[in-house]
Amino acid sequence: MIFGKSANKITKRYSEYDDSPKWTLLDNFNIQEEEKGDGSRPFVRKCLPKRLRVTLTSVQVINSFDWKKDLDETTASRGYDSRSRIEFDGTFDERITVFTMESGAVETFSEFKSGSICPTTRDEIGGKRNATLTDGIFSAGGRGPKVPDGGLMEGEPGRINHFPEEHSLLIALLVDEVVFDKLVNIVSRAASIQLTLLCELFEGEVSAALSGPGQSEYGLLLSEGKHYARARLDGITVFGNKPALVEYRYQPSDPDEAHISLEQSVASLDHRLQHILWALIAIAALLVMIILR
Per-residue pLDDT tens over the stretch 28-63? 999 999 887 777 888 999 999 999 999 999 999 998
Specify whether 232 is located in the same domain as 293.
Answer: no
**Alpha carbons 227 and 168: distance in angstroms, whole number:** 12
Which one, of 285, 233, 274, lies nearest residue 120 by Cα? Answer: 233
Please compute the mean of the pLDDT values over residues 117-138 and round it to a whole number.
Answer: 86
Say which residues have a Cβ less than 8 Å from residue 249's Cβ, sequence separation at least 6.
none
Q: What is the largest CA-CA distance in the chain?
A: 110
**Alpha carbons 33 and 25: distance in angstroms, whole number:** 9
Domain that holds residue 40: 2-241
- What is the b/e burial string over 70-83, where b = at least 16 CB atoms within 10 angstroms of the residue's CB? eeeeeeeeeeeeee
Say which residues have a Cβ less than 8 Å from residue 49's Cβ, sequence separation at least 6.
131, 132, 133, 135, 136, 152, 153, 198, 199, 200
Specify whether 153 is located in the same domain as 288.
Answer: no
Specify whether 263 is located in the same domain as 231.
Answer: no
Residue 69: which pLDDT band, with cuts at 50, 70 and 90?
low
The number of angstroms, rounded, from the C-alpha of 202 to the middle of its chain's C-alpha atoms is 21
**Alpha carbons 187 and 17: distance in angstroms, whole number:** 36
Specify whether 75 is located in the same domain as 210.
Answer: yes
pLDDT in tens, 140-166: 877 778 888 899 999 999 999 999 889
pLDDT of 54 reads 97
What average pLDDT does the structure give for the chain? 82
Specify whether 287 is located in the same domain as 158.
Answer: no
Specify whether 184 is located in the same domain as 285.
Answer: no
Specify whether 224 is located in the same domain as 257.
Answer: no
Asked whether 141 and 156 are in contact (CB, 8 A), the reply is no
Residue 79: which pLDDT band, with cuts at 50, 70 and 90?
low
Residue 123: which pLDDT band, with cuts at 50, 70 and 90?
confident
Would the pLDDT of 263 be above 80?
no
Residue 70: which pLDDT band, with cuts at 50, 70 and 90?
low
Residue 5: which pLDDT band, with cuts at 50, 70 and 90?
very low
Residue 285: which pLDDT band, with cuts at 50, 70 and 90?
confident
Specify whether 82 is located in the same domain as 17.
Answer: yes
Distances (CA, A) of 197 to 55, 97, 117, 232, 236: 11, 17, 12, 6, 9
Please compute the mean of the pLDDT values over residues 260-270 and round it to a whole number.
Answer: 54
Which one, of 114, 69, 63, lies nearest residue 87 by Cα? Answer: 114
Greater confidence (81 vs 188) lies with 188
**Strand locations in 101-157, DSSP E?**
104-120
Greater confidence (272 vs 111) lies with 111
Specify whether 172 is located in the same domain as 255.
Answer: no
Specify whether 40 is located in the same domain as 108.
Answer: yes
Asked whether 153 and 198 are in contact (CB, 8 A), the reply is yes
**Alpha carbons 121 and 287: distance in angstroms, whole number:** 77
Specify whether 196 is located in the same domain as 288.
Answer: no
Asked whether 47 and 147 are in contact (CB, 8 A), the reply is yes
Please compute the mean of the pLDDT values over residues 76-96 and round it to a whole number.
Answer: 84
Determine the residue type at 158: G
Domain count of the chain?
A: 2
Specify whether 157 is located in the same domain as 211.
Answer: yes
Q: Which residue, of 215, 241, 267, is where some domain finishes?
A: 241
**Alpha carbons 144 and 219: distance in angstroms, whole number:** 19
User: What is the enclosing helix (H) or strand (E) of 274?
Assistant: helix 255-292
